[in-house]
Structure 1
């Protein structure tokens, strides 16, 4: 995606050098009818970040036992050099590294198989990474591993499917001359469907119709053999509807990287990298009785597979911990799960977890029948810093027990009952409170501790595939637990509702456009889809921003609470089909009428940041071919003096669609942005995600600032003259450009620390030094300092004896400032080239 920031930086540097609905009824803004299919693919991130890539670097090319043929090579070095030279944080992982559990979704965004196959002893380790939500980029023969282990066609697990070898052949090798683009996609943004690419190499080919038939909702044929529309040469799998992270399969054995494929590799890495709602860690170091997968230790007939897959399908990552509980191991995670721990914790582990929770972590402890070993006692030791314990002396809840609640809590949204089987009771004191009750006994409890949160559940069956997760509202409750625990430090509250159609972009709100925008920004948030629970959270917790995406249900009677929220310093991005008049007045808009089909929206101020940063919407009109068949699809406004209109329903200012109001603290959207999930600007991303991310970023973050150091004056040859700037970037620092008399002479990444530049060695002159810094969104700030260097004046020292006069002072002749600039520009050449390459090849 083109971005204003990239254009600006390159110009500066080059020119001088050349959730589920609450009930099965239609909402008040919904007409139940057949819907056109909706593309639910989640877009990649727009915000600058350094992606972390692990490359499988195994020198032993012997085929593993599961491979019935093909080849495995060791051409990882060239790929690693390419990625490192383009700004990626690359780690080469050996088989032993992966055995040592270094491949974790929280540690690496993407794992690459450069035409090699994981050894037999790490097959499940790589599966753990993928099932946790990690992205996999595979070249050529790597497909054999993915296919055999059910990551391409789950029903064919255990079948290598190699043409000419296996009975069910679905992939093989052939010499390919040219390929065409099968589908325009974020993994190949440089190419259009009309393009023809010359390949001229022997590479893997795939049975397009079979792969697509097995994955009808998420298979993307990226490259097709020219003249053979049934054969793909590269493809992508989104996997949002089943299990695991995203997958991209590309041609080539990585002995060299053809020029046409370089941008595809970079785009693929960006698309594959998860941007999670939260990172979850499940402890496997304390003899826990509940596994997730069949290969886990302490395996029973039941497992938490559906629980994990449900979380990954809602934009979480879920890693397994096989080492001890230390602060270093916990710091990358938002939520820790302890499932029926049957080995005791060390005092160091108890302290580490306590510190982590107090700093904002979310702890989920799962207990069970007090007669099952020492699970409850060991869990109580871990829980000793808090006000929740398992009852060790009495009480055993029966199988089929139904939990209810009398005091509402955010985790009850969309639920009314949970079911348990053979569980212990829970005691609470102090600040802890019951969450679920069974005939007067506590089955689950919660507590806020420091900046963190804790939920303790009394039954392991609740989470397991065969015994509990499908009962009553158990699944929804467990999804709510993750939503709440991972949001302990959240400063953003979201309301996003949906119709009852599975094709609605907000049907699973954590996969909807607002959630994706916030995940792309890397901001923690708490999601609600029921207006009652939204209102509860608004008053219960402390937030800086509300994002209000009201498409279907009546929210009018609650909207006025947003006035108080803004009065107290909050920011609101607001979208509704039914506006409360008083709230509209405060926000600066007056409702004229509703519009009953998604209208075209004309961007009157198309250069405004809400249309350009960090995602550049490349058109002056916002339109859509989608129609979700709402009763009201847009609201037409006029604005008061406290609001600024930015877009409307006609080319000339008439009929306001988007405005900034309430003193710059609210953005009001008239059209229901949920309907604008086309890609009118051909960016390969849904237009509504671009708009949401820009509007949230514009309001939520302060612009970068930069101080103005004093101008500098010194005499030629004097030394120790520096200029130090102390810029800030609320959204996160990214890079800087340093210029002398308007000519950039230095640039690169900026960590957020002060920037100091020496201005010694300049000839008598007046020189302008300017620093420009950019944040991760593309917003910049600049400051200019004047250097005034006066001519060198010799100092004469009188002597007491006759003789010549002696001149003292700093040695060496003054330098020509023009020469300093030339040297600086030449020296910056490498830096400038590096920045240009990073911007064109890498940045996401």
Structure 2
């Protein structure tokens, strides 16, 4: 029988593929955005960061083998141990790339578009790359330095601006032996530790003299994280949160080994150092502009001054990042180079653009990019002609007519969002602009157009004939400074889904307030306005998915009717204000689901009534029972009675009481009102190391931007017919993944790009199927839908013979030809077995 058994096995191996082919179900899941994906039922785990919002953090790790002392540095023994810290950061979920000095020198690779944090382990940058490292930090990138990197941080003014051109040893820092490094402050960097916890790493490490840092007017930018055994004055981990560059952390050790507890602090430091920009701007150096940002920059017509450095600093102060794009043999204004940026600035390009660059820039603008073009006086004919060539697809251009009078200040303008707090602008010399078609003037000089704009696709373009009006000397003239800031705000928000009005005045700027910081943390594009007049103007200029009104100061009553109109149209609305008592019968309040009861006494806690409400635990799990004000703004809010169309989430009593509501969510989830000013919660009741006002704004915005999914109709079709699918129209501002189950069995699990999702349902057997989809975002919100699919018996009518088709359990019909072949094969096998058996018996 061995031969017979072997033969049966061979027959099975021959026929098995046929049966396998028959049994495969025809079920394909795909996203309509990416065109399809291979089925994968493995759980997706894309991010593993330590912050509330999952994000990709990109780390450049300095891996230079030349450890000789740079000319600017204090002498020391450099170690550059990167293996253990690389493993630590990779295992924490960060994207890490090693870079040598040769990798950085002249390559333009160290940009905030590519990396968030630059890490140097006890090895200072070589002299040839200090400009690149400084550009990265000045543009908003974070820096983490270990031990002897204190020399670089002082000499180039990164940690101590007053030490510029001085390595600072013996003045601001020294090497000091210490067995322990004691946590001195609760801070995002030390959030996993408690004050008094000790990390053991005994050696002579660089430590900063705390008292020597306190004499500066920027001393409030420093935080003492760990101290040595010598006492609180010697800081072995120092953090600086500055407005004029990226964040900076200096810490002890050489990462060989990394002490217990210090490892988690390093991970948290990377997360804290990572910029959360409002938008990303790039200056084009690849076409030899006349002016650059910093003195001595390459490929400039004039490099003797820091021409646009102040402008760059103004933007970084307002949470933008700024890069320089230098000439590259791999291409300059390419689709790939433009993709990471929201705003591109080009001034007086002496080298012309290629046709491919013109096409790439035009397409980039149409997709949402913001373009600033600056020409100059008529004698810059080559440069101005090049700009006009780049503008070939737009409706404006530079003329050859110089300003008839220069310099001049003008107040003549077309009402526009960029004029907020900018009633006038100053110009030194230049040429006028002409417009046609969809382009329009912004500022006039008599009958001449000084500069203009055009909205093109989802993007925006600004054109001026004067490169000086935003340079270091003239940007402080008239309202040029305010106008330049507004211009970038407007240009970077063409495709923005969120309008933010804020008049919070405690922060360094509106762009650094708690609500703007929360939006940046979420990575949401938004347009920011801060004056009542321009709130109304911006509200009507484009469609908004969400309008946020952060209103602790000025009355915005005159625009309540616009708010009502917007809400009635289906828009989402989030507001924090104190003005219900001032206008108690305004119809806006009833639309939001409440009515006025009484004014609230100052400085009382706000109690959480619904602890399960997502606005208190997603993405940040707020662990305290209440919010306690730390600022007395004056009129802090109002007691409310909630209507049946809304729900009270928090109030002014420790248990829910009628007439004491403060946070009111309308039952459809589209409006959320805070009758107690969020901005006054500057404390840290939940001991998270972050301000409570920021956390509450973060959670409320995340809730208002939770994912949505359509509810397609159930499907019924006859067995054997094709072309059937389910399409879910869905969206999310920070999508993560989706999964689909059929009758509770997981059949698809993919990363989600936030777009529509479709799945083929062809080939199912007769029966009823329940398809359930769940989409998830990076914050933790999910949304689900269920579709019932009924497959009925196929009714086939013919005039000759009828063929019965048998189907598998999974619904794919058998091919009758394959069935016949299979049966013949089985018959042959049986005959062969009988013959072999007879031969054996004959022996």
1:86 aligns with 2:92: yes
Specify which of 109, 129, 134 is matched with residue 102 of structure 1: 109
Which residues in structure 2 correspond to 1:159-558 (within 5 Å)? 159-163=166-170, 169-214=171-216, 215-240=218-243, 243-297=244-298, 298=300, 299-301=303-305, 303-323=307-327, 324-392=332-400, 394-466=401-473, 468-499=474-505, 504-505=506-507, 508-558=509-559
SS at match of 2:403: coil
Deviation at 1:300, TM superposition (A): 3.4
**Structure 1: tracts of 5 or more residues without a match:** 1-12, 14-43, 164-168, 711-723, 757-767, 790-794, 807-844
**Structure 2: tracts of 5 or more residues without a match:** 1-42, 44-49, 716-725, 760-769, 788-807, 811-821, 835-843
Q: Distance in 2 between matches of 1:321 and 1:479?
A: 21
State whether residues 117 and 141 of structure 2, in contact with CA within 8 Å, keep that contact through their aligned partners in structure 1: yes
Which whole-Å deviations, capped at 9, do the CAs of 1:52-72 have from their partners, x for residues lacking one?
111111111122111131232
Larger mean CA deviation between 661-670 and 108-117 belongs to: 661-670
Deviation at 1:640, TM superposition (A): 1.2
State whether residues 708 and 784 of structure 1, in contact with CA within 8 Å, keep that contact through their aligned partners in structure 2: no
Pick closer, same or farther for the CA change 1:248–1:727 going to 2, 3 Å.
farther
Deviation at 1:494, TM superposition (A): 0.7
Which whole-Å deviations, capped at 9, do the CAs of 1:275-318 have from their partners, x for residues lacking one?
10100010111221112111213203351111000000000001
Q: TM-score, normalised by structure 1?
A: 0.80
Specify which of 144, 156, 179 is matched with residue 149 of structure 1: 156
Corresponding residue for residue 11 of structure 2 = none
Pick closer, same or farther for the CA change 1:302–1:128 going to 2, 3 Å.
closer
Specify which of 63, 68, 82 is matched with residue 69 of structure 2: 63
Q: Distance in 1 between matches of 2:437 and 2:542?
A: 19
Q: Distance in 2 between matches of 1:589 and 1:439?
A: 52
SS at match of 2:72: coil
Pick closer, same or farther for the CA change 1:532–1:359 going to 2, 3 Å.
same
SS at match of 1:230: strand
Q: Distance in 2 between matches of 1:799 and 1:400?
A: 101
Pick closer, same or farther for the CA change 1:368–1:648 going to 2, 3 Å.
same
Corresponding residue for residue 575 of structure 1 = 576
Q: Distance in 1 between matches of 2:448 and 2:104?
A: 45
SS at match of 2:438: coil
Q: Distance in 2 between matches of 1:667 and 1:355?
A: 38
SS at match of 1:398: coil
Deviation at 1:751, TM superposition (A): 7.2
Which residues in structure 2 correspond to 1:44-59 (within 5 Å)? 46-59=52-65
Corresponding residue for residue 597 of structure 2 = 592
Q: Distance in 2 between matches of 1:755 and 1:551?
A: 45
State whether residues 707 and 776 of structure 2, in contact with CA within 8 Å, keep that contact through their aligned partners in structure 1: no
Q: Distance in 2 between matches of 1:423 and 1:802?
A: 97
Q: Distance in 2 between matches of 1:456 and 1:799?
A: 84
Which whole-Å deviations, capped at 9, do the CAs of 1:600-644 have from their partners, x for residues lacking one?
1111101110111111111121112332x32x1112111111111
Which residues in structure 2 correspond to 1:690-701 (within 5 Å)? 690-701=695-706
Q: TM-score, normalised by structure 2?
A: 0.80
Q: Distance in 2 between matches of 1:225 and 1:739?
A: 56
SS at match of 1:92: strand
Corresponding residue for residue 835 of structure 1 = none
State whether residues 617 and 681 of structure 1, in contact with CA within 8 Å, keep that contact through their aligned partners in structure 2: yes
Pick closer, same or farther for the CA change 1:418–1:770 going to 2, 3 Å.
closer
SS at match of 2:669: coil
Pick closer, same or farther for the CA change 1:704–1:118 going to 2, 3 Å.
farther
Which whole-Å deviations, capped at 9, do the CAs of 1:403-445 have from their partners, x for residues lacking one?
2234210000011111110121111111111111112211111
Which whole-Å deviations, capped at 9, do the CAs of 1:340-359 have from their partners, x for residues lacking one?
22222222211111111111
Q: Distance in 2 between matches of 1:746 and 1:383?
A: 46
Specify which of 754, 777, 780 is matched with residue 779 of structure 2: 777
State whether residues 707 and 783 of structure 2, in contact with CA within 8 Å, keep that contact through their aligned partners in structure 1: no
State whether residues 799 and 805 of structure 1, in contact with CA within 8 Å, keep that contact through their aligned partners in structure 2: no
Larger mean CA deviation between 661-670 and 246-255 belongs to: 661-670
Q: Distance in 2 between matches of 1:383 and 1:781?
A: 44
Deviation at 1:202, TM superposition (A): 2.9
1:679 aligns with 2:684: yes
Q: Distance in 2 between matches of 1:329 and 1:322?
A: 11
Pick closer, same or farther for the CA change 1:703–1:224 going to 2, 3 Å.
farther
Which whole-Å deviations, capped at 9, do the CAs of 1:717-742 have from their partners, x for residues lacking one?
xxxxxxx9999772434468999999
Corresponding residue for residue 604 of structure 1 = 609
Q: Distance in 1 between matches of 2:829 and 2:476?
A: 105
Deviation at 1:379, TM superposition (A): 1.4
Q: Distance in 2 between matches of 1:59 and 1:705?
A: 56
Q: Distance in 2 between matches of 1:123 and 1:599?
A: 52
- RMSD of Structure 2 on Structure 1 (CA): 3.5
Pick closer, same or farther for the CA change 1:609–1:61 going to 2, 3 Å.
same
Deviation at 1:80, TM superposition (A): 1.2
Q: Distance in 2 between matches of 1:618 and 1:112?
A: 33
Pick closer, same or farther for the CA change 1:709–1:119 going to 2, 3 Å.
farther
Specify which of 627, 633, 653 is matched with residue 650 of structure 1: 653
Pick closer, same or farther for the CA change 1:685–1:377 going to 2, 3 Å.
same
Which whole-Å deviations, capped at 9, do the CAs of 1:770-820 have from their partners, x for residues lacking one?
9987420012468999x999xxxxx999859997999xxxxxxxxxxxxxx
Deviation at 1:748, TM superposition (A): 11
Pick closer, same or farther for the CA change 1:346–1:586 going to 2, 3 Å.
same
Q: Distance in 1 between matches of 2:746 and 2:535?
A: 50
Q: Distance in 2 between matches of 1:727 and 1:778?
A: 20
SS at match of 1:70: coil
SS at match of 2:98: strand
State whether residues 442 and 452 of structure 2, in contact with CA within 8 Å, keep that contact through their aligned partners in structure 1: yes
Q: Highest Rg: 1 or 2?
A: 2
Larger mean CA deviation between 264-273 and 82-91 belongs to: 82-91
Pick closer, same or farther for the CA change 1:737–1:424 going to 2, 3 Å.
closer
State whether residues 181 and 196 of structure 1, in contact with CA within 8 Å, keep that contact through their aligned partners in structure 2: yes
Q: Distance in 1 between matches of 2:546 and 2:576?
A: 14
Deviation at 1:701, TM superposition (A): 2.4
Pick closer, same or farther for the CA change 1:375–1:751 going to 2, 3 Å.
closer
1:111 aligns with 2:122: no
Q: Distance in 2 between matches of 1:302 and 1:194?
A: 45
Matched positions, count? 724
Pick closer, same or farther for the CA change 1:796–1:702 going to 2, 3 Å.
same
Pick closer, same or farther for the CA change 1:708–1:153 going to 2, 3 Å.
farther
Specify which of 99, 120, 141 is matched with residue 134 of structure 1: 141
